[in-house]
Amino acid sequence: MKKFIMLMIALILVFTACAAPPPQTVIQTVVVTQEVEKVVTQEVEKVVTQEVEKIVTQEVVKTVEVEKPAEVKTIKVGLAWNEKIHSLIQAWQDYIEKYGEEYGKKNNVKFEWVTNVADGDPARQAANIEDLINQKVDIIVARAQDAAAICASVKAAQDAGIPFVTFDRQPNGCTPTTHVGADSYNQSLSTANEFVKILKDAGVQGKCIELQGDLLDMNAVFRSRGYHEIEDKEKQWETVAEVPTEWKPEKFQSGLANALQAHPEANCLFVASDFAFSSVQSALEDAGKWAPVGDANHIWVAAQDVNPQGYDAMVKGFIDVATTYDAYFHAVELVNVIGRIANGDTVQPFYLVPGRVATPKTVEGMDNIWARDYKD
C-alpha cells in the first residue's frame, strides 16, 4: 500500500515537471503531497503501534508465567514414639510441628505427621513401624524403646525404600539413614567437668553414688561413660555405688535409699536424668539429707537434662549443675534433616545437638528452657 502511494506521488511530480505549470497547480501539488505524506505517516504509526502492543502482550504473558507459584510438596512423615508419659516427648512433638510449619512456609513444603505410640513395649513399636511402612510414608522417625530391637524395624523400612531416622536414642547394631539427638557423651563431660570445679571450690572430696539410666538406651551408656572418664582423669570424687534405674522412678527412689544406707559416707550424687528427681528427693528426705546448697547437710548433685522436676530443684538450690537437654533445638535439627532427605540431599550419619551447662545462678536467665513451659 505504501509503495503504491509513493509511486503515484512520483508520477504526479513527473507529469507536473513536463507541463508548463501555472502557479495554482504547483500549490495544489504541494497540498496533495502533504496529505499523502500525512496518510502514510498515520499508516506507519498504526503498524508500529500494533507491533508494540503485540510485543507488550507477549511480555506480560511471559511475566505472568514466571510468577506463577510453585506447587507445594507434601512430605508424609511417620513418628514412632516409644512412649509419651514424659512431658519431654510432648514438648518435642509440639516443637517439631511448630517448626515444621515455619520450615514449610520458607521451603514451599507441607508436612503430614502420622504419629503412633508404643507405650514402652518394643514389640508394639515394631508393629507400629510396620504399619507406617504399609501406609507408605516418605520418611520414618523413631525414638527407640530398645536400642538393639529397633534394628529390625530399620532394616524393614530400608528394604521398603523408606529412609529411617532414629531420634534421641541411637540404635545399637545397625545404621539408619541418620540419627538426630543430643550429644549425650559430651553432655556428661560438660556436667562432670563443671562438677569438678564446684567441688574444688567448696573444698569437697566426693564420695558419689551414681544413679544410672536404662543401659539398653545408648544415652544412658554415654552419660555413664563420660562421667567415669572425668572421675578417672580428675580424681575429684570416688564412685562408691552404681545404681541401675532402667529409667523407672521407683528404682531411683529405692536404689538411692539402699545405696545411702550402705554408704552413709556418701556426700554427692551423679543423676543420669533429673526427670524423676522427686524420687531422688524422697530418698534424700528419708535419709535426712535433703538440703539446699549452703546448708551443712547438703548433698552435692550433678544431674542431666533440666527436666521440669530438675528445673524446680535447681532453682531452689538442690541440684548444683546439669547440662540441658534442649528439646527445641533437637526438633529444629530433626525437621531440617527431614527436609534434606526429602530433597534428595546427602546427610551425615549423626546430627548431635550440644547442651548448655546450667547452675542455680544461671538457669533462670537461659533461653529456650522447655521445662519452664511443660510440667510433669
Q: What is the pLDDT of residues 104-135, one digit of tens each?
A: 999 999 999 999 999 999 999 999 999 999 99
Residues facing residue 74 across a β-bridge: 110
Report how many domains make up the chain.
Answer: 3
User: Which of 156, 107, 173, 112 shows the shortest CA–CA distance to 137?
Assistant: 112
When pLDDT is averaged across residues 316-329 and rounded to a whole number, the result is: 97
Q: In what order do the strands lie in the sheet with 300-305?
A: 237-244, 206-212, 268-271, 300-305, 321-324, 357-358
Look at 10 and 233; give whichever has higher pLDDT.
233
* 133 inside domain: yes
In this structure, is residue 159 part of a structural domain? yes
Cell 507541463, residue? Answer: 19
HEC secondary structure over 301-356: EEEEECCHHHHHHHHCCCCCEEEECCHHHHHHHHHHHHHHHHCCCCCCCEEEECCC
What pLDDT does residue 38 have? 54
Handedness of CA 248, 78, 91, 300 (dihedral sign): positive
Of 64 and 134, more confident: 134
**pLDDT at residue number 4:** 45
pLDDT value of position 53? 56
What range defines the domain where residue 40 resides? 2-66
Q: Are residues 346 and 257 in the same domain?
A: no
pLDDT at 352 over 70: yes
Query: pLDDT-derived band of residue 42, with 50, 70 and 90 as boundaries?
Result: low
pLDDT band at 43 (very low <50, low <70, confident <90, very high): low
Give pLDDT, residue 21. 44
Q: What is the pLDDT of residues 251-293, one digit of tens each?
A: 999 999 999 999 999 999 999 999 999 999 999 999 999 999 9
Residues 211 and 322 in one domain: yes
Residues 9, 131 within the same domain:
no
HEC assignment per residue over the chain? CHHHHHHHHHHHHHHHHHCCCCHHHHHHHHHHHHHHHHHHHHHHHHHHHHHHHHHHHHHHHHHHHHCCCCCCEEEEEEEEECCCCCHHHHHHHHHHHHHHHHHHHHHCEEEEEEEEECCCCHHHHHHHHHHHHHCCCCEEEECCCCCCCHHHHHHHHHHCCCCEEEECCCCCCCCCCEEEEECHHHHHHHHHHHHHHHHHHHCCCEEEEEEECCCCCHHHHHHHHHHHHHHHHHCCEEEEEEEECCCCHHHHHHHHHHHHHHCCCCCEEEECCHHHHHHHHHHHHHCCCCCCCCCCCCCEEEEEECCHHHHHHHHCCCCCEEEECCHHHHHHHHHHHHHHHHCCCCCCCEEEECCCEECCCCHHHCCCCHHHCCCC
pLDDT at position 31 over 90: no
Q: Is there a domain that residue 54 lies in?
A: yes
What count of Cα atoms within 13 Å lies in the side-chain half-sphere of residue 322?
Answer: 31
Residues 195 and 321 in one domain: yes
Domain limit, last residue, from 39, 66, 93: 66
* 56 within a domain of the structure (yes/no): yes
Specify whether 199 is located in the same domain as 244. Answer: yes
In a shared domain, residues 303 and 190: yes
The label of the residue with cell 545404621 reads: 175
Instruction: Provide the CATH number for the domain around residue 111.
Output: 3.40.50.2300
Query: Is the predicted pLDDT of residue 339 greater than 90, yes or no?
Result: yes
pLDDT, tens only, 149-197: 999 999 999 999 999 999 999 999 999 999 999 999 999 999 999 999 9
Reported as a pLDDT band with limits 50, 70 and 90, residue 15 is very low
Q: Which tens digits make up the pLDDT trace of 196-244?
A: 999 999 999 999 999 999 998 999 999 999 999 999 999 999 999 999 9
Q: Evaluate if residue 365 carries a pLDDT over 70.
A: yes
Share of the chain above pLDDT 70, in %: 82
